[in-house]
Amino acid sequence: MQPPASVVPAPSPRTVLSPEVDDALHSGTPVVALESTLLAHGLPRPDNRAAADDVEAAVRAGGAVPATIAVLDGVPHVGLTRDQVDRVCGDPGLAKLGVRDLPVAAALGLSGATTVSSTALLAAGAGIGVFATGGLGGVHRHAAETFDESADLTALSRTSLVVVCAGVKSILDVPATLERLESLSVTVVGYRTTAFPGFYVADSGSSLDWSVDDPKQAAAVFAARQELAPGAVVVANPLPLDEQLDPALHDRVIAGALAAAEAAGVRGKDVTPFVLDHLHRASEGATLAVNVRLVLRNAELAGRIAAALAVIPS
């Protein structure tokens, strides 16, 4: 259900849409938003640059126009040029911006990559209904002591769009994250499964109440959500078993990465990038390859869901 031209919300006057994304939104062509934190802080340079192109190509293969989102010199951009993607992937000093950081970046003219929380907000503000990422942020292990819970969760409770992901990052407390998503009334459906995916692995060990069988059903759930109680629909898309990380290797490297973060005293928004980087090294690139693969699969499915939404009469 792509909004017709007359009801495409006017993005904040400070947000710049690329000509291709602007045209697509006004002509009802399906569009998928992509975040930039996974490129800038979740994948190592220089591999992140090829991944950025591949993710955009996967959205196109699914039948939609990609809109990668980042803030450059204080201006939120929805849809990036090649040079802008080079900047996002190449600048080692680029900030990581959640929703609360956007006003600071805008007012001070700073640049940064957007997380799930801020990408969802900017995408929905521009009238984009579907967003693809790798894994959501969520409740960290030992959150009872650290209070570390990703702003992704509260942002999704306030934003109306479909988020395609491979579950939540498996470095987290997955059952606690699912409880919070329930409290926040975020709709969660599995894609062809009721086993909640575990990011690098197909099954996190937690289960879901609902699943959808195809992009059309996912689009119908979102259309109903917009009518009944606007908010987010998470479509959790597992890796096939033959593409997942070996579960024994998974458990071993995750324990090591979390212990390393603890020993290094890493806190706040540095935790996720630190742990992902540690995993890529400790697994000799195995987690990196799986991470890229799952993002590509999510991007393609998101493209197909956006295409299905575009033909639902609104």
Question: What gap in Å lies between CA 277 and CA 128, rounded to an integer?
Answer: 31
- DSSP summary character for residue 115: -
Q: Is the dihedral of CA 150, 154, 159, 164 positive or negative?
A: positive
Residue (116 or 310) nearer to ligand PSU, CB: 116
> How many residues contact ligand PSU, by CB under 6 A?
19
Looking at beta carbons, which residue is closest to ligand PSU? Answer: 134
**Could you say which of 35, 56, 149, 300 is catalytic?**
35
Does 76 contact ligand PSU by CB under 6 A? no
Is-catalytic flag, 20? no
Is-catalytic flag, 269? no
Here's the x/- map for ligand PSU, 118-157, by CB under 6 A: it reads as: ---------------xxx-x------------xxx-----
**Could you say which of 56, 96, 149, 169 is catalytic?**
169
- List, in order, residues 6 or more apart from 175 with CB less than 8 Å away: 206
Stretch that binds ligand PSU, among 18-26, 33-41, 174-182, 239-247 (CB under 6 A): 33-41
Among 190, 291, 300, 303, binds ligand PSU (CB under 6 A): 291
User: What is the smallest separation between the CB atom of 137 and ligand PSU, expressed in angstroms?
Assistant: 3
Among 115, 177, 187, 237, binds ligand PSU (CB under 6 A): 115
User: What is the smallest separation between the CB atom of 60 and ligand PSU, expressed in angstroms?
Assistant: 20
Binding site for Mn ion (CB under 5 A): 148
- Known catalytic residues are 35, 169
Chain residues that interact with ligand PSU, rule: CB under 6 A: 35, 37-38, 41-42, 115-116, 133-135, 137, 150-152, 269, 272, 276, 291, 295
